[in-house]
Amino acid sequence: MNPAEFDDPVAESYSNRGARWAIFTILAMLYQVAPLLIIPLWAYHVGNWWLLAGIAASFVGSAEAGQYSRATLLFGCYCIGFWIHYGFSIYHYTTFYFFCASWGYMLWNLAESVKSGHTLLVTSNIVREAFTYVCGLFTGLTRTAIAHARGLDNLTPEQADSIARTLTSGTMGFAMLLLGYFGVNSVYGYVFATAIVAIPLWAGVRYWRCRRDGKRDGTTI
């Protein structure tokens, strides 16, 4: 990567592009090299070599960010439930691995945002996505109720898709939160997660298929 490869070379001065390239390089080094140095030192400090798995977690976080995956955000929802039940401690494996994965995920996104010149936009999108996974089930149900109150005929396809995405993300996030609270080895965790994922998804798919078929037939639902 060199400064000439950054966006909008005509509108920016070379010095500005050079500064962005330098920041991009620093951020890239932080998520590529820093885990190889910091995590072994921390594992040695606390005398627990299982923490070296955090290196893999960090690289997985940056790799799935490159694929525009949201696995780290779902892992965050799991951690919220875990912290509610067991309390917060950096010495928990779950907490440590989450921070390692978040390190790679956030620094990759920050590096790419500096490269594209849309740092604030990318950061706000991540915050909004995280909020959707944590609270999307409740906001989606609220938006669905409002849509019913105002009349489904007034709902545009874009609004319907937005509500469906919010419900899907929020349902998965809340299910992961319950799994974290009850534990992956708990039967209650499996039961709640399965029910919360399956029921709204089944109802949502059935509902939107009915709307689609109704529009194809020229009828309203």
Position 151 scores a pLDDT of 77
What pLDDT, in 10s, does the model give residues 161-202? Answer: 888 888 888 888 888 888 888 876 666 666 666 665 666 666
Does 211 or 112 have the greater pLDDT score? 112
Q: Is 45 exposed, middle or buried (0-12, 13-18, 19+ CB in 10 A)?
A: exposed
Position 174 scores a pLDDT of 86
C-alpha to C-alpha distance for 202 and 122, rounded to whole angstroms: 32
- The arithmetic mean of pLDDT across residues 89-114, rounded, is 89
C-alpha to C-alpha distance for 110 and 115, rounded to whole angstroms: 9
3-state DSSP assignment of residue 98 = helix
Position 59 scores a pLDDT of 92
Strands (E), the chain: none
For tokens 């390089």, the residue is: 25
Does 35 or 218 have the greater pLDDT score? 35
Percent of the chain clearing pLDDT 90 (strictly above): 18
Q: Which of 9-18, 36-45, 95-104 has the lowest mean pLDDT?
A: 9-18
Does 3 or 148 have the greater pLDDT score? 148
Position 19 scores a pLDDT of 76
What pLDDT, in 10s, does the model give residues 14-72? Answer: 456 677 788 888 888 888 899 999 999 999 998 999 999 999 999 999 888 877 778 88
Measured at the CA of 215, the angle between CA 213 and CA 218, to 5 degrees, comes to 110
3-state helix vs strand vs coil in the chain, percent to 5: 85, 0, 15
Whether 7 has a pLDDT exceeding 70, the answer reads no
Q: Is the pTM higher than 0.85?
A: no
What is the residue-wise DSSP string for 20-65?
HHHHHHHHHHHHHTHHHHHHHHHHHHHT-GGGGHHHHHHHHHHHHH
Q: How many other C-beta atoms lie within 10 A of the C-beta of residue 203? A: 11
Position 219 scores a pLDDT of 45
Whether 209 has a pLDDT exceeding 70, the answer reads no
Q: What is the overall mean pLDDT for the chain?
A: 78
Give the pLDDT band (50/70/90) at residue 214: low
